Amino acid sequence: MIVGTQKPIEEIWEMVKEFKRVLVYGCNTCVAICHAGGGKEAEIIASMIRMKAIEEGREMDVNHAAIERHCEPEFFEPLMEDVKTYDLVLSTACGVGVNFLTQRIGEIPVYPGINTSFYGGVPQAGVFTELCGGCGNCILHLTGGICPIVRCSKSLLNGPCGGTNKGKCEVSDQVDCAWYLIVERMKQLGTLEKLLEIQPPKNWATGTHGGPRRVVLEHIAELEEKEEKAKAEVKK
């Protein structure tokens, strides 16, 4: 899932204080699980903004709402007319949601209420760890299911650097050395010899370094188009 963390209320206040009608708009999928931007958090942020407004003597109308997902258009539809009555939407969805709503909302600004952090998992309640770099060219079958792109602080592809200390990364003793984990896992699987093959320089163009990415599934897009047409025919 996408992991996010709340922005400090001071930073949020600086963003929103000049607006009269503000909607704090939560997303009930990933960012709700990490307690950053679901409906509950949107409600809390909205009341914190109202308190700030009272403190500073500003007249503001601050409300909150939430939908299941901010990354697919159909989820927006039921609330869109209402959303468009605000001066500002403070989205507590991930950055995808902020961008996606921006493309659909017309002239109303959409500001980020959270910091979108990474793709991660929840090893225990309240703990989130980064596990995938979204590089667009997965090699997890070569590294025992442990991602060196994002779990190694140097994205090394051919083994550990000299900074591994007691299984931890030189960056912090709170961070596991990914290559330590990879070697241990490959030993467990009996496939250590796979690591002896030299991995050539990676083509990063499939990641964020090749410009904005787009995936098109021709057959699905065509099918959708056909269905739309058929519906239109029936209406006629």
How far are the Cα atoms of 106, 110, 179 from residue 76, in angstroms, in the given order?
13, 14, 43
Alpha helices in the chain (DSSP H): 9-16, 30-33, 39-55, 73-76, 80-83, 95-102, 148-151, 178-189, 218-235
Which residues in the 99-138 window bind other proteins by CB under 8 A?
none
Closest residue by Cα to residue 155 from 174, 173, 130: 130
- Residue 188 Cβ, how far from other proteins at the closest point, in Å? 12
Size of the site for other proteins (CB under 8 A): 33
Q: Which of 66, 64, 59, 61 is nearest to 28 (CA)?
A: 66
Binding span for other proteins by CB under 8 A among 37-45, 54-62, 81-89, 175-183: 175-183
Q: Does 159 bind other proteins (CB under 8 A)?
A: yes
Choose one: 57-65, 95-103, 104-112, 161-169; the region binding other proteins (CB under 8 A): 161-169
According to the binding rule CB under 8 A, does residue 190 interact with other proteins? no
Among 130, 155, 206, 207, binds other proteins (CB under 8 A): 155
The least distance separating other proteins from the CB of residue 37, rounded to whole angstroms, comes to: 25
Residues that bind other proteins (CB under 8 A): 153-167, 170-172, 177, 179-180, 183-184, 187, 192, 195-196, 198-202, 204
